[in-house]
Chain A
């Protein structure tokens, strides 16, 4: 079955450092992969999308990479701030047009 795994359930990073989150998937060849942010008690908010023919995508302090050989995406937040503390979810669109999510990584930026 198709699986999405986000390796770290929780991650603590010192303010100002770069946070790197990992997403791996199996049994699937997605055309693109997405990253969302979710705050407690709220719905997810879309951050970035990267297509299979793109190696890297940037948006302000965010950077996403996509390695279709390794079946892996990395999500980086540079110059991290306490306001970046949240759960980050990676998501794939399946062949039957659904969006499925990993469990998420709870990121804590320590002041």
Chain B
């Protein structure tokens, strides 16, 4: 199957700082990438959908100024958590859709963010 690489896998940052998470599709072009957040023993909650070259679409309740998403190329999307607070600590997962294989999505390994 297609490979999606997410980096870093773990990050610890201080309150008030910003953290950038990268999501790359390694062997396919991802016209659409999705960012999810997952709390322990909970489902994946969709945060936003990003399409290459256009602004991301955020789900209700997700602050777009806090979670900045950039999808500048067909293989790279980034999520920046700005002015992080301890309540932003979570597991963040990206997924990418292959334009040629439209039905399933391929997921990155996830990023465990801890804000101290």
Given A100-B46, A102-B43, are A42 and B110 also a contact pair (CB < 8 Å)?
Answer: yes
User: How many Å from the CB of B90 to the closest CB on chain A?
Assistant: 12
When chains A and B are docked, how far (Å) is the Cα of A9 from the Cα of B43?
A: 11
When chains A and B are docked, how far (Å) is the Cα of A45 from the Cα of B4?
A: 11
Chain A count of residues within 8 A CB distance of the other chain = 22
Which residues in chain A, 1-34, are within 8 Å of chain B measured between CB atoms? 9, 32, 34
Q: Which of B13-21, B63-71, B81-89, B101-109 binds A?
A: B101-109
Counting CB contacts under 8 A, is B49 at the interface? yes
> Are A99 and B34 in contact, CB atoms less than 8 angstroms apart?
yes
Which residues in chain B, 72-95, are within 8 Å of chain A measured between CB atoms? 91, 93-95
Given A34-B104, A46-B1, A46-B105, are A89 and B110 also a contact pair (CB < 8 Å)?
Answer: no
Name A residues whose Cβ lies closer than 8 Å to a Cβ of B.
9, 32, 34, 36, 41-46, 49, 89, 93, 97-104, 106
